[in-house]
Amino acid sequence: MAEALNLTRKIMAAHLKEGRLEVGTEIGLSIDQTLVHDATGQMAMLQFEALGFPRVKTKRSLIYSDHNILQVGFENADDHAFLSSAAKRFGLWYSKTGNGICHQLNVERFATPGEILLGADSHTTTGGAVGQLAIGAGGLDVAVVMGGRPFFLPMPKIIRVTLTGSLKAWVRPKDLALEILRILTVSGGRGAILEFAGPGLAGLSVTDRATVANMSIETGAITAIFPADQNVLDFLRRQGREADFSPQAADPGAVYDGELEIDLSSLEPLAAAPHSPDNVLKVADLGGVKVNQVAIGSCTNSSFSDMMAVAAVLKGQRVAPGVSLVVAPGSRQILMELTKRGALADIVGAGARIMEVACGFCNGVGQAPQTGGISVRTSNRNFPGRSGTAGAGLYLVSPETAAATALKGFLTDPRTLGEAPVIVWPETMEIDDSMILPPAPEGSEVPIQRGPNIAPLPRFAAPGESITGEVMLVLGDNVTTDDILPAGAHILALRANVPAMSRFIFSNLEPAFHQRMKAAGTGFVVAGNNYGQGSSREHAALAPRYLGLAGVVAQSFARIHKANLCNFGIFPLEFVDPAQIAGLEKGHKLTLSGLGPNLSPGAILTMSDLDTGQSFMVKLDVAQRQLDMLMAGGLLALEAKLAAE
Ligand code: MIC
Ligand code: SF4
């Protein structure tokens, strides 16, 4: 009898190109769909071009314009001209600015049960809502996959998350996502995929599931996946995509590597308090917190059902005088539906500012709060500086809690509002894909538009047998990619320009870091656990490498960032004895030795502190493939070397 497989393993087995499905060993998966956007796509497309691929080989690859949209200077428009021309030429679909947020749109129009999606964005996980295995990665990994190669990752543990009961009135999927974060923290999901199951699923629509899948990345998990059941079929039917449906479920009696059970009936409205998504408290216990801004939207909570619930709460009411309420629906389709139903009038009538259907406030592109301000948001990250205002405090909540808070002016449990709204879905949603431009049938003639914001890719040299460099920073646990390369419109506008962007590396911690790093020439960063959590932005590896960062010595790394470090030739080194971080100080000189040709994956290497004379051991826990990149000066350098051989 065939082995009873969980859903994740079934999909992986059908896509397995290299390796075996043994937890912790490297596997290579074929990828059906890819997505990039206008924060990660510039590098991905420049790299795709540099790798010499003539045309994408996936079933469908898309570029979404949704992040980089303010256009306060020429930069964003240059980037969009580059991206749309590159899409045409290389065979990708291009979703224009104003069409919506990549994850929301991809679930609406393209996510397909049983397929694998790789996206150059950490919240690609959202696609798990329809029974698709949807994984985030750095842009270079996506570029390689678009060229037809497999995607590599260590085989995860599959954790079954069994949902029982049902959500009570005013308790929303966001509260479930926050409960999972409370349990797992921002690192408890590392190395795992969360596979949802159980009787509680029946009450969760695709958009509800999307909120939960979206925020699974905040636990450090690789992704989350839900079965493709009747609710998925209903959703796809409304999108005119019934033909994309196939049932997806674990085999009865399937085996998992871990279990978690959550009774939905036991949940209450929750909030992640500043400055981490796992700092989860009950909204009822936060009643006194006065609020300056409420922001509703982002790929976590901008769906039709979210927006309709917000409209129902706001209808006939007025936003509190001291609060600025901003609302950004997730896609043009949703905005059209809200308009047709008069829900937009209810939102505007209450005094909300309607924002473009885009990421916007979520990563500091507009709506930065006042100095020291409190902003209550429906997005997924509340890291320091994420809003664009360094000292602001962000609370992450459900749309219903956000709307209630906007009306009262202080954090408000929506259960105090009376009867909860009931959302009725239309038979079919407004379907119009005219803002998704197709590729040219024969791309080779299409010229790529390169304005001055599109800088050439930097190239890096191979290391010698040892590296000596200065300890640039000694940091704690859970350093985010927002700490390394901060969010905010002025920095986002430079995503196609490594020299310009590198001036902002670690700038929230130390504004002149880039100058100190350049002066040092070669350096190391020392950190605690889960270094590089958060966004997939490979720029947080590429730009530090450009400044001279040779290695990060940490207790552990976040998956996507570790892969990005290897892609750009920065050594990810793990302390064998974590206590040894205590002896390391900023400004000390370290030598990493033993990088000769006999180096093997998992090697234990010696690092010497030239200032104290002490040595300590570090593990280079990478695959052979990554070791080859590191020893060549990064993936592009390795490819160039192989091509020349
Ligand atoms: C984010 O939410 O942090 C972003 C902006 O969407 C990033 C992508 C990026 O910074 O390029 C992500 O989540 O990967
Ligand atoms: Fe956009 Fe925010 Fe979602 Fe990132 S988390 S994709 S910035 S909406």
pLDDT tens-digit profile of 135-147?
Answer: 999 999 999 999 9
Please tell me the pTM assigned to this model: 0.98
Q: Are 533 and 478 in contact (CB under 8 A)?
A: yes
- Closest ligand, as measured to the CA of 214: 2
Ligand 2 atom index nearest CA of 363 = 7
Q: Which residue has the tokens 């980037």?
A: 79
Q: Which CATH number fits domain 7-266: 3.40.50.1000, 3.40.50.720, 3.30.499.10, 3.10.100.10?
A: 3.30.499.10
Ligand 2 site-directed mutation target among 70, 106, 299, most atoms within 8 Å of CB: 299
Ligand 1 atom index nearest CA of 381 = 2
pLDDT-above-70 percentage for the chain = 100
pLDDT of 418 > 70? The answer is yes
pLDDT of 438 > 90? The answer is yes
What type of residue sits at position 606? T
Nearest CA to ligand 1 atom 6: 121
State residue 157's pLDDT score: 98
| Mean pLDDT computed over 503-527 | 97
What type of residue sits at position 235? F
Ligand 1 atom index nearest CA of 536 = 14
Q: CA 402 to CA 376: how far, in whole Å?
A: 6
Q: CA 359 to CA 346: how far, in whole Å?
A: 22
Q: CA 490 to CA 484: how far, in whole Å?
A: 15
pLDDT-above-90 percentage for the chain = 98
Ligand 2 site-directed mutation target among 380, 396, 491, 560, most atoms within 8 Å of CB: 380
Would the CB of 480 count as within 6 Å of ligand 1?
no
| Mean pLDDT computed over 402-422 | 98
Domain ranges of the chain: 7-266, 270-415, 466-644
Q: Which of these, 643, 640, 645, 644, lies nearest to 457 by C-alpha position?
A: 640
Largest CA distance in the chain: 72
Ligand 2 atom index nearest CA of 300 = 3
Would the CB of 123 count as within 6 Å of ligand 2?
yes
| Cα 488 to ligand 2 centre (Å) | 12
571: CB partners within 8 A, 6+ apart: 463, 467, 550, 551, 552, 565, 592, 620, 630
Nearest CA to ligand 1 atom 1: 535
- Closest ligand, as measured to the CA of 386: 1
State residue 423's pLDDT score: 96
| Cα 104 to ligand 2 centre (Å) | 10
Q: What is the pLDDT of residues 176-222, one digit of tens each?
A: 999 999 999 999 999 999 999 999 999 999 999 999 999 999 999 99
| Cα 39 to ligand 1 centre (Å) | 7
Q: CA 130 to CA 107: how far, in whole Å?
A: 8
Q: What is the pLDDT of residues 527-540, one digit of tens each?
A: 999 999 999 999 99
Q: What backbone torsions phi and psi does residue 486 show, to the nearest 5 degrees?
A: -65, 160
pLDDT of 319 > 70? The answer is yes
Q: What is the pLDDT of residues 147-183, one digit of tens each?
A: 999 999 999 999 999 999 999 999 999 999 999 999 9
State residue 3's pLDDT score: 87
pLDDT of 36 > 70? The answer is yes
Q: Are 99 and 331 in contact (CB under 8 A)?
A: yes
| Cα 122 to ligand 1 centre (Å) | 6
| Mean pLDDT computed over 78-87 | 98
pLDDT of 367 > 90? The answer is yes
Would the CB of 536 count as within 6 Å of ligand 1?
yes
State residue 288's pLDDT score: 83
| Mean pLDDT computed over 582-590 | 96
Same fold for the pair 7-266 and 270-415: yes
Burial 216-245, CB ≥16 within 10 A → b, else e: bbbbbbbbbbbbbbebbbebbebbebeebb
What type of residue sits at position 478? N
Ligand 1 atom index nearest CA of 560 = 14
| Cα 94 to ligand 2 centre (Å) | 18
Helix ranges, 503-548 (H): 513-520, 539-547
Ligand 2 site-directed mutation target among 67, 125, 533, 560, most atoms within 8 Å of CB: 67
State residue 178's pLDDT score: 99
Would the CB of 103 count as within 6 Å of ligand 1?
no
Q: Which of these, 65, 136, 80, 62, lies nearest to 496 by C-alpha position?
A: 80
pLDDT of 1 > 70? The answer is no
Beta-sheet pairing, 615-620 with 603-609? antiparallel
What rounded mean pLDDT belongs to the chain?
97
List the beta strands (DSSP E) in 96-170: 116-119, 133-136, 151-154, 157-164
pLDDT of 459 > 80? The answer is yes
Superfamily of the domain at 270-415: Aconitase, domain 3 (3.30.499.10)
Superfamily of the domain at 466-644: Aconitase, domain 4 (3.20.19.10)
State residue 465's pLDDT score: 97
Ligand 2 atom index nearest CA of 365 = 7
| Mean pLDDT computed over 547-571 | 98
Peptide bond into 275 cis (omega under 30): yes
Nearest CA to ligand 1 atom 9: 537
